Chain A
Amino acid sequence: MPIAQKLPSADRTWQPTLESLFDCWQSFLLAHHDPYTLNHDLLNVVASATQSDRASLMRFDPELRQLRITTAIGIHPDIVNQTIIGLGEGIAGWVAQHRQSLLLPSGPDIPAHLSEYMHQHAISSALCVPMMIGDELKGVLNLARLGDAPTFTSEDLWFAALIADRHAAALQTAQLYEELSNSEQFINRVLESVPISLVVIDHNLRIVSANKNFLSKARHDEQQEIGRPISQLFPPVLIRFLQLEAKINAVFASGQTFDGEKMVYRAPGIITRTYYYRLIPIKSGQRVENVLLLMEDITEREQLGEEVRRAERYLASVIDWASDLVVSMTPQGEVITWNRAAERVSGLVPDQVRGKSFLSLCAADQRRALATQLRRLIQDEESIATEASLITSNPQQQVDVAWNCSAMRDDTGAVVALVAVGRDLTERRRLEAQLAQSAKMASLGVMAGGIAHEIRNPLAIIAASAQLLDEHPHDDELRQQCTQKIVASAQRASLIIEHLLKFAHPPQERFRLLNIHATLEETFTLLGHQLLVSQVALHRDFSPDVPRLYGNPELLQQVFTNLILNACNAMPQGGELTVQSRLIDDLIELRFRDSGHGIIDKHMAKIFDPFFTTRAVGKGTGLGLSISYSIVQQHHGTMEVVSEPEQGATFIIRLPITDTYLAAAPH
């Protein structure tokens, strides 16, 4: 024993030998952290030193309050495995319970059951010592001599107690080492498996360690990298560009984390990848021992982000360049986006409209109806189709737009935005107006008979009076009568032509407040003779509480003209036409009821179709009702027909009353 040799030989007594044994054993302990080896070797040493036949180390389980043999000498392995001793059971149990050493047999005060226990197990002498750390029981050390072997002495007890004491401390240390090692291994496993590159750098900017992720990503192996300077790890250009060394030094100096930036790095033989890196100080107290370079691979995320941005840009440009108006707004109706078509049609640029109420960008008189429609979207409706004029940068001008509005909903069904897709109706309106005008001219042809008759009557009076004047130049009374009739008839003919011209003139585009009864009366005047020719008696059933409405009288007159001409046509033998007006809720309802031949079932579905006519070629264009229908639609109204063959037909027009106050007080 080399350590023992250091001691002076003159002092070689029991005492120094024991001390040196401890020293030996301590150094041995430090070299072996494995508890099993520790226990077994220790027990061997102790058993042979104390000349024990049996020896065992028991560990105390504080939860179960039991002792179990961890290592044994001179005991059969089966018994070792089976032995579980509760507190107070046998010698070891007594020692564990009392936390007090026991040397048997040592005197007459031995508890009786222990003497019996020794006898049963043929033990001549037993030594049992508790292993304590502070107040905590860790286990017990048992030594026994069998047969007629001499009894343990108090020196043996003292020795065993010392051993147990030291061993408890050693076990504790070993346990702590194990725990430490376990947690270190755990941390290492975590570090090795995270998909993040970790490199630990020291003060000299050399690599202390690097995790597996870094090594595999960088195509390096550990042996190569450890101890190399950081400047050799990355390409010099990158190091210079990132000023990596300066940054690491700054972290060492300040102790502050460098919170990251992107770096694009291409390891040899690997495609370029993008990392996000941070520099984190690893401190011991106040001092920065190392700096941790943490690199997160964000290549895929970057690519994904780029793809998303590209898709977004693509979609945005599709919407922006669409020929239809696309307006998105908050559920409250505030404009968020306004595409180029909307800008082109309205002359308003996105900055002028963003955040404004969409309703405020529509014609004042249509706001309430539109607001109602949009509310339906918020409630439940999938989408709504409506027409609303858009105001433009020119205060005098509005543009008719057909809108299709829908609500964008999130996963919970809550409305997150409204989208309105609109089509500029200007061109369609122009074509419709052209068509309506052509149809009007065609209906003038139908009216020609009545008109001819109506104009030729005053002409006949004029001609006759002139000839009478010529024949009787000296009859003063006749001259007076004739001139008066000539003037009156000329005025009458002129008035008829004026009505005609007014009817034939293309309508004004403007909608204005009108009295529907006045418009009806004008139509009756124009068609008075037509009714006469057709032997149709006209009945008016006007309700006095019908208010004025917002509309285009010229267009509405065209609708009424079409309906009256149709009625005349349906009653070739003459008949009755009743025109009724009523106020029903907020709608004005007009009914044109004739006593004609009615409409047969198979024609009912088609009568509003363009070019559908039951008249002979050249007698009707088939446009009258389809144009009337579109005119009523422009007034946000509806038009329908009810009829039974031979019972006459009733055309029903419903027109909404406009709130005139809306113009003054927008939404």
Chain B
Amino acid sequence: MKILIVDDEPDLCWALERMIRTNDMWISIAGCSTSAMNLLKQHTYTVAFVDAILPDSNGFQLARHIHMVSPSTSIVLMSGYYYREDMDEAHTHIGGFLAKPFLISDVRTILQQVLSADQIRQEQYPCNTYC
């Protein structure tokens, strides 16, 4: 299983990678949308964690691009700046929402949720954690 993490904070990418890493998992890290799209040309990812704000684009735009080139990829949007209403605008191709800062349990829950197929996508809710 291939997973893509897109965030301009290398430390955050590192921490997220450590949280979700398992033996059967192959994880790519991108610091901006351009390098993420380059990676997408070479690999097919099951899940992509995308930060809402990127130096050269924003998370929604990147999510749309990912969905276009790889519709099978489930997308989890990460953000430190959110309102609950923002989630209602969430596009159907965004599989989950991860609020920064996040708990390991939330990350793992959301990962399982997006992996367990389309039928539960409609009931996606953001996992707001405040630690």
Q: How far is the CA of A449 from the CA of B18 in the complex (A)?
A: 28
Give Cα A42–Cα B55 distance, bound, in whole angstroms.
142
Assuming the contacts A452-B80, A456-B81, A457-B12, asked whether A464 and B53 have C-beta atoms less than 8 A apart, the reply is no
- Write out the residue numbers on chain A whose beta carbons fall within 8 Å of the beta carbon of B103: 463, 467
Q: How many residues of A contact B (CB 8 A)?
A: 28
Contact, CB under 8 Å: A460 / B55: no
A648-663: which have CB < 8 Å to B?
none
Task: Tell me which residues across on chain A come within 8 A of B14, comparing CB atoms.
Answer: 481, 485
Contact at B15–A461, with CB atoms within 8 Å?
A: yes
Residue in B closest to A484 when the chains form the complex, CB atoms = B11
Q: A452-B80, A455-B80 are in contact. Are A461 and B11 (CB under 8 A)?
A: yes
Binary contact track A296-334/B, C-beta < 8 Å → 1, others 0: 000000000000000000000000000000000000000
- In angstroms, Cα B64 to Cα A78, docked, is 143
Report A516-546 CB contacts with B as 1/0, cut-off 8 Å.
0000000000000100110100000000000
B92 interface residue (CB < 8 Å to A): no
Q: Which B residues are CB-close (under 8 A) to A464?
A: 12, 15-16, 18-19, 101-102, 104
CB contacts (< 8 Å) of A481 on chain B: these are 14
B115 to chain A, nearest CB (A): 21
Q: Does B46 contact A (CB under 8 A)?
A: no
Instruction: Judge if B9 is at the interface, Cβ distance under 8 Å.
Output: yes
Residues of chain A with a CB closer than 8 A to B15's CB: 460-461, 464-465, 468, 485
Contact B100–A457 (Cβ < 8 Å): yes
B45-76 at interface with A (beta carbon < 8 Å): 52-53, 55-58
Which listed residue (B11, B53, B58, B81) contacts A485, Cβ 8 A?
Answer: B11
Quick one: which of A407-466 are within 8 Å of B by CB? 448-450, 452-457, 459-465
Q: How far is the CA of A465 from the CA of B11 in the complex (A)?
A: 9
Q: Is the CB–CB distance between A467 and B19 below 8 Å?
A: yes
Number of interface residues of B (CB under 8 A): 23
Say yes or no: is A259 at the interface (Cβ < 8 Å to chain B).
no
What residues of B have a CB within 8 angstroms of the CB of A489 in the complex?
A: 11
> Known contacts being A464-B16, A464-B19, is A456 close to B101, with CB within 8 Å?
yes
The answer to whether A449 touches B9 (Cβ under 8 A) is no
Cβ of B53 and Cβ of A532 under 8 Å apart?
A: yes
- Residue A11 interfacial (CB < 8 Å): no
Question: Are B53's CB and A456's CB within 8 A?
Answer: no
> Which among A481, A488, A529, A535 has the greatest number of chain B C-beta atoms within 10 A?
A535
B56 / chain A contacts, CB cutoff of 8 Å: 535
Alpha-carbon distance A155/B104, docked complex (angstroms): 174
Overall SS of chain A's interface: helix
B100 touches A460 (CB 8 A): yes
| Interface assignment of A471: CB less than 8 Å from any CB of chain B | yes
* Complex: A505 Cα to B12 Cα, angstroms: 31
Residue B44 lies at the interface, judged by CB distance under 8 Å to chain A: no
* Cβ < 8 Å to B, chain A residues 464-484: 464-465, 467-468, 471, 478, 481
- The contact string, 1 if C-beta is below 8 Å from chain A, for chain B 7-45, is 001011011101100000000000000000000000000
In the complex, are the beta carbons of B19 and A468 less than 8 A apart?
A: yes
Q: Is the CB of A460 within 8 A of B53?
A: no
Quick one: CB contact mask for B91-131 with A, threshold 8 Å, 1 for yes? 00000000011111000000000000000000000000001
What's the Cα separation between A459 and B14 when bound, in Å? 14
Given known A-B contacts A489-B11, A535-B57, A535-B58, A460 and B81 have beta carbons under 8 A apart: no
Given A478-B18, A535-B57: A459 in contact with B100 (beta carbons within 8 A): yes
CA distance A485 to B11 in the complex (A): 7
Are A460 and B101 also in contact (CB < 8 A) when A453-B79, A468-B15 are? yes
Query: Chain A 364-405 against B: per-residue CB contact (8 Å), 1 yes, 0 no?
Result: 000000000000000000000000000000000000000000
Interface hub of A467, A481, A529 (most chain B Cβ within 10 A): A467
A90 to chain B, nearest CB (A): 141
Considering the chains assembled together, what is the distance between the CA atoms of A462 and B58 in angstroms? Answer: 24
A457-B19 in contact given A452-B81, A463-B131, A467-B103 (Cβ < 8 Å): no
Compute how far the CA of A450 lies from the CA of B52 in the bound complex, rounded to whole angstroms: 12
A451's closest neighbor in chain B, by CB?
Answer: B81
B28: min CB distance to chain A, Å: 18
Q: How far is the CB of A291 from chain B (nearest CB, A)?
A: 109
Of A453, A460, A467, A485, most buried by chain B (CB within 10 Å of CB) is A460
Bound CA–CA A227/B53 (angstroms): 122
* Chain B residues near A454 (CB-CB < 8 A): 80
The complex places the Cα of A285 from the Cα of B123 at a distance, in Å, of 138
CA distance in complex: A529, B53 (Å): 9
CB of A534, distance to nearest CB on chain B (Å): 10
A210, B89: Cα distance in complex, Å: 116
* Separation of A460 and B7 alpha carbons in the complex (Å): 12
The complex places the Cα of A87 from the Cα of B14 at a distance, in Å, of 149
With A453-B80, A457-B12, A489-B11 known to touch, is A532 a contact of B55 (CB < 8 Å)? yes
CA distance A459 to B11 in the complex (A): 11
Other-chain contact of B101, A450, A459, A529 (Cβ < 8 Å): A459
Minimum Cβ distance to chain A for residue B11 (Å):
5
Residues of A close to B101: CB separation below 8 A = 456, 459-464
**B64 CB to nearest A CB, Å:** 14
With contact pairs A461-B12, A463-B131 given, residues A456 and B80 touching in the complex (Cβ less than 8 Å): yes
The residue that B53 contacts in the complex, of A455, A462, A467, A533, with Cβ under 8 A, is A533
- Min Cβ gap A450→B in Å is 8
User: Within the complex, what minimum Cβ distance (angstroms) separates A24 from chain B?
Assistant: 145
- Chain A CB within 10 Å — which of B80, B102, B104 has the most? B80
A465 cross-chain contacts in B, Cβ below 8 A: 15
Bound Cα distance from A581 to B56, whole angstroms: 27
Give A482's nearest chain B residue, CB to CB.
B15
User: Is the Cβ of B57 less than 8 Å from the Cβ of A471?
Assistant: no
Q: Nearest Cβ in chain A — how far from B32, in angstroms?
A: 11
Contact between B104 and A456, CB atoms less than 8 A apart? no
Quick one: closest B residue to A465, CB to CB? B15
Of all chain A residues, the one with the shortest Cβ separation from B18 is A468
- Ordered by A's residue number, 17 sampled pairs between the chains whose C-beta atoms are within 8 Å are A452-B81, A453-B80, A453-B81, A457-B12, A459-B101, A460-B101, A461-B9, A461-B12, A461-B15, A461-B101, A463-B102, A464-B19, A468-B18, A468-B104, A529-B53, A532-B53, A532-B55
Name B's A-contacting residues (CB within 8 A): 9, 11-12, 14-16, 18-19, 52-53, 55-58, 79-81, 100-104, 131
Given contacts A457-B100, A464-B16, 4 further A-B pairs with CB under 8 A are A453-B53, A453-B81, A456-B100, A463-B131
